[in-house]
Structures are given as structure tokens and as C-alpha cells.
Amino acid sequence: MPDSVATLIALALAEDIGAGDVTSRYFIPEERRARAFATARRDGVLSGAEVAARVFLAVDPSLDVEILIADGSQVAAGALLMRIEGAARSILTAERTALNFLQRLSGVATLTASYVAQIRDTPANILDTRKTTPGFRLLEKQAVVHGGGTNHRLGLYDRAMVKDNHLVADGGLPALQAAIHRLKADHPQVEVELEADSLEQVRAFLALDGVDHLLLDNMTLGELRSAVAARGEHPKPQLEASGGVTLNTVHDIALTGVDFISVGALTHSAPALDIGLDFQSL
């Protein structure tokens, strides 16, 4: 697990526990042992089980934690996802933080799976975006993969994405082409994506060298089809539709022939999957 995730777990526990869990300390006997099961209350796709297990072990390394269903699995309401056994105080102290990770990430995976199911009969792929919860990006993007989606760039460092705000300050197509050549010379592994707001821009950008992706921003279905036709049979640049994508519109967008459809809602608007912790006294 990356150090950043371990740090996030530590911050989350510190936020919740503070100076100590006074409820468990004063109302649960120290010697009390318990067994608990993380249980799905609704159907969905599981993500975050590994993280939740780390939360319990961070609170008390002596806990016996067993993941019963792997991340990325479809789960039905009532499914037992994880077993935790040991000191009742420790389980109760870790419960909310562990469930927060598990519910949030499973919600992202479940919503992603819904989008993926809508376009299953097309060659298109569902992409996430950088519209993630600060600090949670690696986990939320992993949850997208668990739901069957595909990761877009992780950050500003692994793909150049030239959007309208960048183009305002440039010197036209010659300056744009020169910048692409400089980037490719210094960082040949970094892909280049240009945002196009119109078919005129699409045609202009198709004439440039070194463009790996075109982002087709808020285009109509007719404009998307025209952009696909303008590219022709060439494999690059790959075409990404973006803007206002919903579960009701994603299938029609996929049928235009675009390669990717990016959906910010996967990470900024996914509802948490209802998961609870059921206890058994020992």
C-alpha cells in the first residue's frame, strides 16, 4: 500500500479518535472480545476492503482481520464482506473510519459499474477525471478500476492536457506545435491531449503532429460523429467525449464512435454504498 494511503489512514484515525475513544473506554470492559462482520446492506461493487482492513490493524495489530470478498467483486445485499475478531474496544474504535473508506470507495466502484454497463455493447471506455476528493485520488481511481472503468491521468505530471484556459495565452497553432515538440523531446513518455470546443478546432488539431488525444468538450451527438469522421480510420488521436455525461446519455454518446467518455460524477458525486458492521459477542 502506498505511503500516501497509510498517511491518509493515520490522519483519518487521528481525526476521529483524538485523545481517545471515551465511549469504548468507559462502557466496554477491557477484556471483552467480539467478532464483527462488515455486511453489505445494498447490492453494489466492493472497493476499499484492503484499506478498511488496514484501518482495523492500525488501531490494533492484534486483531484478526479476514477479507471474505475481494475488491472489484459484485456483492448482494446481506453479503459478508469482512470478518474482524479480537478486542471489542479496538473494533468499535476503528469501526467508523473503516466503514467510511469502505462505503465511499464502494460507492465510486458501484456508480462506475453502472456507467460501464450502459455502454457494454460498444467499444467505448469510461474514464474518470481529476475531480477527486483531496487526498483520496489513488483510492478513488482504484475504485473506478474496480468498477470496470479506466483511469485518466493521475495528475498534472503524467499527461499534458491543453485546455481552453491554456490556449487563450498561446500564439496560435505554430506555437502550439512547437510546444508539443519541446515536450515530446524532453518527456517522450508523456502523452499530449488537446481540448477542442468546436469542429473547427478538431480539424485544426488533427493536422498537428504528436497529439495523442483530443478532448471533445460539450459537443452534440452530431458534432461527435463529425469529429470521429474527420479523424477517419487513424488510431490516433484517440477521441474523448466530455461534459454533461449522465447515465441517460452515455449510451448515445458511445454510439458516436468516440474511444473514451470521461465522467466527473464517478468521483465527485458517487453516493456511498450502504455497508454496516454487525457484532457478535464471544
> Which positions are annotated as active-site residues?
96, 131, 163, 195, 217
The pLDDT score that the predictor gives to residue 164 is 74
Residue 51 CA from chain centroid, whole number: 15
In the structure, what pLDDT confidence band is assigned to residue 130 with cuts at 50, 70 and 90?
A: very high
Dihedral, 242, 181, 232, 243 alpha carbons, nearest 10:
10
Give percent of the chain with pLDDT exceeding 90: 91
Please check the confidence at residue 223 and state whether its pLDDT lies above 70: yes
Q: Where residue 169 falls among pLDDT bands split at 50, 70, 90?
A: low
The rounded distance, in Å, linking the Cα atoms of 44 and 148 is 13
For range 59-73, the mean pLDDT: 98
Boundaries of every domain in the chain: 3-112+271-281, 116-268
Average pLDDT rounded to a whole number, residues 209-235: 96
Interstrand relation of 125-127 and 260-262 (parallel, antiparallel or unpaired):
parallel
In CATH, what class is 116-268?
Answer: alpha beta
What's the rounded Cα separation, in Å, for the pair 275 and 39?
Answer: 6
Residue at grid coordinates 461527435: 224
**DSSP states of 127-177 as a string?**
E--S---TT-HHHHHHHHHHTT-B---SSTTSEEEE-HHHHTTS-SHHHHH
Q: For 177-205, how does the pLDDT look when each residue is reduced to its tens digit (9 = 90+)? A: 999 999 999 999 999 999 999 999 999 99
pLDDT, mean of residues 61-72: 98
CA pair distance 31, 19, nearest whole angstrom: 21
Residue 89 · residue 25 · CB < 8 Å: yes
Nearest CA-CA partner of 127 in 152, 146, 110, 106: 152
Tell me the pTM.
0.95
Average pLDDT over residues 9-35: 97
pLDDT class of 167 with cuts at 50, 70, 90? low
Superfamily of domain 3-112+271-281: Quinolinate phosphoribosyl transferase, N-terminal domain (3.90.1170.20)
Question: How confident is the model over 248-271, as a mean pLDDT?
Answer: 98
Average pLDDT, stretch 109-127? 98
Kindly tell me if the per-residue pLDDT of 1 is higher than 90. no
Confidence of residue 163 (pLDDT cuts 50, 70, 90): confident
DSSP secondary structure letters along 90-133: HHHHHHHHHHHHHHHHHHHHHHHHHHHHHTTTSS-EEE--S---
Selection from 179, 166, 187, 180 nearest residue 210 by Cα? 180
Is there a contact between 53 and 65 (Cβ–Cβ < 8 Å)? Answer: yes
Q: What's the mean pLDDT when you consider all of the chain?
A: 95
